[in-house]
Each structure stands twice: as structure tokens, then as C-alpha cells.
Amino acid sequence: MTPDTLFPPATRRSSLPFWLAVAAVVVVALTGGALVANHLTRITITLDVSGNVRQISTRAETVDALLDEADVLIDPEDVISPATTAQLEDGMTITVRKAFAVAVEADSDVRHVRTQHTHPLDILIEQQIHIGTYDVVQVDGQDYTLEQLQNPPHQSWTTPPHSIRVIRSVTLQIIDGDHTLTIHSTQADVARALDAAGLALYLADAVTPDLSAPVEDGLVVHIQRSQPVTLVADGRQISTRARGPTVGDALAAIGVAPVGQDYTIPPVDTPVEPEMEIQVIRVTEQVITEHETIPFTVIYRPSPDLPLDEQDVLQEGAEGLRERHIRVRYEDGLEVSRTVQDEWIAQPPAPRLIAYGTQIKLRSLDTPDGPVEYWRQLRMRATSYSPSRSGIAASSPGYGLTTTGAKLARGIVAVDPAIIPLSSAVYVPEYGHAIAGDTRDDIQNRSIALGYDDEGWQPWHGWVDVYLLAPAPSPDAIPYLLPSKP
């Protein structure tokens, strides 16, 4: 009997050995069993830390172990439910309420405490700090009375404060003329205590003890009132009180009296009336001396005895000086009038006289191209340009053309016509002979742009000597006076 007879092709087993297949099945069963066992030993806990809720899968057995596993640091003032020794159960919720840090200051004692309370009074009670009826509790910089803290809904206090400061009150007796008043104050000195009590003071009122005196329990304060007036003086408007039958007496009592040319509205001999407004106008006068410089003029004179481009100062100029005396009147610091008392020229100006040369003399220069004759030499700042570097679009009708209509190429230079007349023949060392045949907006004064075609363009940057070749133009076409040399 053949193998095909025992196991027909349609029912033949895999060629994998039987023992290896059995082993694979056993391994899979053991691995799955371990995973199932591990899953069955873990439980799910809900952890709520001050409102931050998360689900934790854990094998911890107690609350304390779970908090360690979750890296939750516990302070002594924190509240944990259930207790840290409690055994964990699947689906359990653990609540941790972190204590709040609060700075408490009372009776010169500063404490940094941690508490579960959010209301300032609960925190103070916890710290065994008593609050009097007229004391002020400053919570995070805001003042509250005991009544305000005790009566919601002034403040819900769902969030804890950062700082609490208790300001103790003292009892003061105020004798104000014929009236006696008892006040309770938490202010530091007499002035602030009176202001907090709504007692307005004016400059002429007399207060004993002094306004800067510190308050203490049982202090008696005397106020001697004066007649109410409004004083406008020295840039201020003050509602105050003054004693005295006339405006002058009232101002003397206040300590703001007119002096010199000062005057008052109404006049000083006017009887004082209640609610009167008194203005003190401060008057000062000053005589000042003003100095005004008189610039000198510069006069240029041609000189045929001086070579071209040379100058000779015939006379140094001197500035003149004009002086005047001015009386200035000020009222309350503002100038109201200015009067010139006298004026004179203390020193007349002297013009500067400068002779400039008009003598033209031809000179010779040896160049690689042979000797040239020139009638003027100028030191100029040189740049270079070509059609594509001229700032004109290639599509423009004037592309590649100069001001004079010539095609831009080597031998054409751009100049300022006020310095070098157009069509002048020039020579530039290392550049060669050229015609001043173009102008450019960026070529002003002692600047020159050396022209090239695009293929032969060479960069130029720096100062060069430019020689204006003979013959010289007619005298009326020569700019004898040029801007200052570079």
C-alpha cells in the first residue's frame, strides 16, 4: 500500500511534524493565560486631586500605595478620603483636597499657613485671631469690614485668598467747634483719620495735635474752623477757610499774601464773605538783554591775476551783534507783555572778500595715448555705468542713449553741467579720452560716471583726476566758482 493510498491528496495532513504543532498550541495557551491572570489582578481607581480627575489601573493594595504610584505629594493639611490605610477596591474613588497657602498678618505677626478653608474669617478663626467690630481685614489688598465678611453674598469665597492682613482700629474723640464726634479709625496719622471720617480740612483750619501725629487709642483732636473761601493762587484752586474781616486778613491767615506788584481779585480791603473766591495774581517783571547775531556777507571778486580755481581771501568776514533791552511782565508765571526799551547795534558786520582766479593757462600732460593739453584739472568721484546699468528699461525708447542723443559706450561720460559743460573733451587716466555727453540724476557736483557698453563694462569706485582738454570754452561759458573741493 502506498502513501497516496493511506492518505488521499484531498485529505493529506501538513508536512509540519505533529509534536511541533502541539508545542505551539501549548505556548499560545500559556501566554494568553498569563495575560488574563495579569489583567484579572489589576483594578481601576478614580483619583480626584482638587478637581483634577483621572482613571488609574493599578495593582496597589492601599490608598497610600496608590498615591505613591501616582506621584501625588501629600502635605499634613491635605484631606484624603478614604484614609491612606484603606484597602483599594475596584471602582473606588479617592479624593484628595490640597490645602491652600495663605499669608496671614495680624498684630505685627506674619504667618504662612496652609488651610482647607476659603473664607477669610474661617481662616482667622482657625488661627485664633479675633476681629473687632471696627477692625479692617485686608484680603488680597482689598479692604473689608467685619460686617461685609459676615454677610454674603458680598463675596462667595469659592477660591481661597493669597494674603490676609488685619488692621486694628483705635477710638478718637474729635472736637470740631461746638460739635464732639467719636470715630473709630484704622489710619496711621491724624490727617488720614480725619479724611477717612469725611472731615474736610482747609489751609486756615487749626488742628491739634499736628496732622502728621500718629493716632493712638483715646486721642483727642481739636479742630478750630475758619470761614469758608475758595483761594486761587500759585496755580492751584483750594477750598479752604480763613479768619479775618478783609481779603488781606484772610490771605495773611492762610499764609498766601500778595507781595510787590501782586494784586488780588477782589482787592485786599474787600470784606470777606462766605464762599467768596479770592484770586492772588503773582506779578513779576524782568529786564532781559537779547543778543542777535548779524551774519556777514561773502563777496567774491574776479581776479585775472589768479590762476583758475585758486582763491585768495582779501578780507576775513566778521559777524555783527545787535543788542536790545526788553522788559518782560509775567502774571502767575505766564508772560503777558514784552516791551522793547532800547535797541542798538553793538558791532556792525564786516563782509568777507574773496578773490577768485579767472586766469586760464594751458598745461600739458603725458599720457599712454600721447601728450594732451588741458585748461582745468578737477578731482572727482568716479563711478561707471552701461546701458543695462543705467536704470532705464530695455523696452524704453531712450534705452542705451545719452542726454545728447549719442549711443552710450566707452568714451561718453556723465557729468553735472554746472561743473563741466556738455560736449567738453576730457581725459581720465586709465579710462582715456571722453566727451561729456550725458547727465544723470545721481551725478551731481564733483561726480562723474564713466560710460561703457554692456560687454566692456568695468567697475569704478573712487576719486580720479579729470582733465578738461583744450581749447577752453568762451569766458562766459566757464563756471569759475565751483563747489568746495572734496
Q: How many domains does the chain have?
A: 6
The DSSP result for 246-291, as a single string, is BHHHHHHHHT----TT-EEES-TTSBP-TTEEEEEE-EEEEEEEEE
Residue 301 belongs to domain with CATH number: 2.20.230.10
User: Is the residue at 16 inside a domain?
Assistant: no
Instruction: Give the pLDDT confidence of 90-123 residue by residue, as tens digits.
Output: 989 999 988 888 898 888 889 888 888 888 888 8
pLDDT computed for residue 23 by the predictor = 46
C-alpha distances in angstroms, 355 versus 50, 316, 432, 484?
A: 96, 12, 34, 15
Shared domain check, 129 and 197:
no
Beta carbons of 56 and 35 less than 8 angstroms apart: no
Other C-beta atoms lying within 10 Å of the C-beta of residue 340: 10
User: Is the residue at 21 inside a domain?
Assistant: no
User: Is the residue at 485 inside a domain?
Assistant: no
Shared domain check, 258 and 301:
no
Shared domain check, 185 and 157:
no
Beta carbons of 402 and 385 less than 8 angstroms apart: no
C-alpha cell at 319: 559777524
C-alpha cell at 486: 572734496
Shared domain check, 174 and 213:
yes
Shared domain check, 267 and 237:
yes
User: Is the residue at 440 inside a domain?
Assistant: yes
In angstroms, rounded to a whole number, what is the distance separating the alpha carbons of residues 376 and 477? 14
C-alpha cell at 481: 566758482
Shared domain check, 350 and 397:
no
Q: By residue range, what is the domain housing residue 445?
A: 362-477
Shared domain check, 297 and 271:
no
- Segments of the chain with pLDDT less than 70: 1-40, 152-155, 204, 485-486
Domain boundary among 147, 167, 187: 167
Kindly report each contact of residues 426-432 with a partner whose C-beta sits within 8 Å and lies 24 or more positions away, as own/partner: 426/466, 426/467, 426/468, 426/469, 427/365, 427/367, 427/372, 427/374, 427/466, 427/467, 427/469, 428/382, 428/464, 428/465, 428/466, 428/467, 429/367, 429/464, 429/465, 430/464, 431/460, 431/464, 432/369
Shared domain check, 142 and 193:
no
User: Is the residue at 3 inside a domain?
Assistant: no
Residue 112 belongs to domain with CATH number: 3.10.20
Shared domain check, 221 and 127:
no
Q: Is the pTM of this model over 0.75?
A: no
In angstroms, rounded to a whole number, what is the distance separating the alpha carbons of residues 31 and 306? 117
Shared domain check, 292 and 259:
no
User: Is the residue at 114 inside a domain?
Assistant: yes
User: Is the residue at 7 inside a domain?
Assistant: no
Q: Which amino acid is at 204?
A: A
Residue 373 belongs to domain with CATH number: 2.40.40
Shared domain check, 473 and 379:
yes
In angstroms, rounded to a whole number, what is the distance separating the alpha carbons of residues 380 and 414? 12
pLDDT computed for residue 58 by the predictor = 93
pLDDT computed for residue 149 by the predictor = 81
Q: In terms of residues, how long is the chain? A: 486
Helices and strands (H and E) in the chain: how many: 7, 30
Shared domain check, 449 and 390:
yes
Sign of CA dihedral 390, 391, 393, 397: negative
User: Is the residue at 138 inside a domain?
Assistant: yes
Residue 174 belongs to domain with CATH number: 3.10.20.90
At residue 417, φ and ψ (nearest 5 deg) are: -60, -20
